[in-house]
Amino acid sequence: MKITHYSFGKMVVDGNEYTKDLIVFPDSVSPSWWRKEGHSLCMEDLEDVFKREINVLVVGTGAYGRMIVNEKLIQDLKNKGIETYVSETDKAVLLFNKFSEEGKKVAGAFHLTC
Look up residue 37 and give its amino acid.
E
Closest by CA position to 92, among listed 14, 23, 43, 16? 23
How far is the C-alpha of 114 from the C-alpha of 112, rounded, in Å? 7
* CATH fold label, 3-110: Hypothetical Protein Mth938; Chain: A, (3.40.1230)
Give the chain's length. Answer: 114
Enumerate the H helices of the chain as residue ranges.
47-50, 71-79, 89-101
pLDDT in tens, 1-17: 999 999 999 999 999 99
Question: Residue 51 has what DSSP assignment?
Answer: T
pLDDT in tens, 27-83: 999 998 999 998 999 999 999 999 999 999 999 999 999 999 999 999 999 999 999
Please report, in angstroms and rounded to a whole number, the separation of the first and last CA atoms in the chain.
24
Domain ranges of the chain: 3-110
